[in-house]
Amino acid sequence: MRIRLIFSFVIIILVTLSSVAYFVRQETEEQVNAFIYRGGIYGAEGLVEALEGYYQENETWVGVETIFQSRGRGSGQGAGGGRGRGGGGNELKLYDSQGVLIYDPHNTGTEGELEEEDYQATIPLVVDGDPRGYLLAPSSQQFSLDLEGDLMSRLNKASINAALIAGGLSLLLAVVLTFYLLQPVRALTEAAGKMAKGDLSQRVDVSGNDEIAGLGNAFNQMAASLEGEQDRRQVMTADIAHELRTPLAIQRANLEAMLDGVEPKSDQNIQVTLDQNKLLERLVADLRTLALADAGELNLELRKTEINRLVSGIVDIFQQRAKQKHVQLAAVLEESLPAIDLDPDRIEQILVNLVDNALQYSNEGGDVVLTTLYENHFIIIIVKDSGPGLSEDSLTQVFNRFYRGDRSRSRKYGGTGLGLAIASKLAEAHGGSLSAANSPDGGAMFTLRLPVKG
């Protein structure tokens, strides 16, 4: 990671420096050419432009002396911006395209021709792409045209040196930044390594809100989730062992007592052993259902089902038990609920568990009400009892496996502590949810929400 990051920085640095060096060289070459070939070296750029403009307008050099005269005696300072190395633009001679002298500031006769060897030292006056004249400085002010090559060589060398220095500094900065940027990644790697060895308490310090901080937060959430899951698994293992030990111990005690002759081999004693065996069988079945739900392999036999008919059937099943306990069991059904695709056996399993719990915790003379509603593309089934309601602790843990708000009371009715956990998983398998709350009128209230698809 570190090598790749440094290598990326190096590529960026090289591309940037190469691009800068190329464009700077192009611009420098243009400016050098303008400086040498357009009179910049003599401070006569303005004079060159004026002469070219004069010829383009008049198509002759006749009367051109007015251009020189109009620039005045101080043209060496003003016209070229004061950049000339000597006498300035007013010291230049003008020759036509044939090399015939047209204007000489020191010879009013203006006689003479441009020597062949002097062409190299002239400043061409170009109009419409063709040279229409030449400016020539006095011999004392002429410079070799090797000046261009020498100047460009020096500029190239300076550019390369600057690029090397800038590249070195940039590379050093890249190494430092890489070390700094990879610190949180190293911390994450170290923490992940310890987690891989079984230490799920690992967390990393997170600051800021960038991508690395997001990764750190995600890691911490994952670690907390894994640690919580491990704790829950350990608790569940202990609970399973406890739940298995109790009925096994009762069975063993009963069987040993009958074998030793302490208790008679009566139907009553055999029935106690059989009841504990059934409890074990139910516990194993519940654990299997939860395991399938956790693995996403719980098979649902979906078919069109009328919820009101399903709820009415549950009320009929528990009506006799409700009468025996002197609890009023009723259903309040919304008419014209749409039939939806679901597994009626699994939904019945949920409702049986909810109604069974409601009847257990409802006092004599109380009531249990099942209500159906249709709201926002969801069919809602509410099971409300008139019992003592749920404690704050129970509200947050009631769907946890093996959780019992009153262990002794639950065991009395043969519960495994898995019923509500299974009901929640079955609701989720249908794309719905199961929630618990306390009713404003008193008692617990469980709400099953099932989506209406299509």
Domain limits, the chain: 38-143, 224-294, 303-451
pLDDT at 329: 94
The C-alpha atoms of residue 111 and residue 107 are separated, in whole angstroms, by 8
Fold entry, domain 224-294 = Helix Hairpins (1.10.287)
- pTM (two decimals): 0.51
pLDDT tens sequence across 371-424: 999 998 999 999 999 888 888 878 888 888 777 665 444 444 445 567 888 889
Q: Do domains 224-294 and 303-451 have the same CATH topology?
A: no
- Helix segments in 295-386, DSSP class H: 307-324, 344-361
Is the CATH number of domain 303-451 2.60.40.4070? no
Low-confidence ranges of the chain (pLDDT < 50): 73-88, 140-141, 143-145, 407-414
Give the angle 51-52-58 at the CA atoms, nearest 5°. Answer: 85
The C-alpha atoms of residue 291 and residue 286 are separated, in whole angstroms, by 9
pLDDT at 432: 93
pLDDT at 374: 93
pLDDT at 407: 46
- Tokens 């229409």 belong to 132
* The dihedral sign for the CA sequence 296, 297, 303, 309: negative
Backbone phi and psi for residue 72, each to the nearest 5 degrees, phi listed first: 75, 175
